[in-house]
Amino acid sequence: MKTSEYSKHIEYWTLDRNITFLNHGSFGATPLKIMAKQNYYRELMENEPVDFFVNKMPELLNESKGKLAKFIGVDNNDIVFVQNTTTGVNQILTSFPYKSGDEWLVTSHAYGACMNAIKHFAHRNNIVLKIADIPFPVKNDEEILNAIGQMISSKTKLALIDHITSATGMIFPIKEVIDLLHDHGIKVLVDGAHAPGMVDLDIIGLDADIYVGNCHKWMCAPKGSAFMHVKKEFKEFIKPLVISHFNDTDINGDSYWSNQFMWDGTHDFSQYICVGDTIQFMNSLQPGGWKGIMDHNHKLAWQGANLIAQRLNIELPLEEKFIGSMVNIPMPDGEEGFPKFNETSPLKKVLFEKYKIEVPVFFFPSAPTQWLRISAQLYNSLEQYEYLGECLESLK
């Protein structure tokens, strides 16, 4: 059994052609042209480090951030670059004002790293953490809203909510969730790790108090690039983890808050500088630009999932409206015990070692209930999902 063919767009990526890569959702994949652009900025840095860091870097960062701000529809001065969504979530939880005995709210679908973070800060600060048990599969938005609503009390001050969940690939009715929480005076921190580049993102329209999202996943920017958006009226509470240079720049101006986050020490800033270049490059790859990319990836993921489901004679857990570019497919029960982040399930292992397929396998809400999650990006083809379905059928 041979590996399957990628689409014609594979020419823009360096992915191993001997591996059927159906896991863009985990870490993304950066196009060749953007990798070359990142090397250009690194060479610029090393050719004259002092001139780069003191003079060129701030201007390059601001230019890239401006393009990102336009892409997600926000004010340039209301966003800052962070390494990843988890970093941004930790940044907020460190800064968020609290009193002992306050309550924070999170859902059972929260990403493992962020769940660990909110548990840590809640315990350290004597905050009660409530976990809303969201069913999966879900039939409608009301099931999600009701589960969250049942956990709200007069003491609830902050809620951490996923826009698109990692373990289930499900798009939450995020606007309705935010409105529900705001009706109770609760501040909302949205984990939007998967949203930028997968769905049309209107952060201002969503009205989240803080929104954190990755650029290195569905936007395909270099690894270690993400953003944090904070409402103007909430900025006074959110401070950088590292106080350093640029903390005294434009103190009375509009850019003061974002300037405080610019310099957290000497390191490679090229991944941030490349975000703007990535937005422009990806926009050129598909008719209709970014909307064309999102529509293409959604259609391919949905078609691929249905093809696999038909071959295995199973039903998909969610209606199409809950799906972006990732789909969970039910698998036979796995082993007992919950694998840690760096542990590999037997099914994932055999798919990779025997069939050269890279695809994640999750236990959700806990072992032995097992799911396989496919992703779809421009470089994938329907043939690859046919191949995965054929391999899964042979394992029955």
CATH of domain 37-283: 3.40.640.10
Bridge partners of 213, per DSSP, are 192, 227
pLDDT at 166: 94
Residue 185 Ramachandran class (φ > 0 left, ψ -120 to 50 alpha, else beta): left
pTM: predicted TM-score of the whole model, two decimal places? 0.95
Amino acid at 213: G
- Per-block average pLDDT, block size 10, for the chain (396 residues)? 85 97 98 98 97 95 96 95 96 93 97 96 96 96 97 97 96 98 98 98 95 98 98 88 76 80 89 98 97 98 98 97 97 75 82 97 90 98 98 93
pLDDT at 128: 97
Find out whether the peptide bond into 368 is cis, omega within 30 degrees of 0. yes
Helix axes 32-47, 270-283, angle to 10 degrees: 150
Residue 292: other Cβ atoms inside 10 A: 14
Check if the beta carbon of residue 173 is closer than 8 Å to that of residue 141: yes
Check if the beta carbon of residue 240 is closer than 8 Å to that of residue 261: yes
The CA distance from 230 to 86, in Å, is 16
CATH of domain 8-22+286-394: 3.90.1150.10
The CA distance from 175 to 163, in Å, is 9
Average pLDDT value over all residues in the chain? 94
pLDDT at 74: 96
pLDDT tens-place string over residues 282-301: 999 999 999 999 999 999 99
pLDDT at 125: 95
Check if the beta carbon of residue 222 is closer than 8 Å to that of residue 30: yes
pLDDT at 229: 97
The CA distance from 195 to 204, in Å, is 14
Check if the beta carbon of residue 95 is closer than 8 Å to that of residue 209: no
Bridge pairing between strands 357-358 and 20-21: parallel
Bridge pairing between strands 79-82 and 20-21: unpaired
| Three-state DSSP class for residue 190 | strand
The CA distance from 159 to 350, in Å, is 39
pLDDT at 261: 86
Give me the residue spans of the domains in the chain. 8-22+286-394, 37-283
pLDDT tens-place string over residues 332-360: 998 766 565 567 789 999 999 999 999 99
Check if the beta carbon of residue 208 is closer than 8 Å to that of residue 190: yes
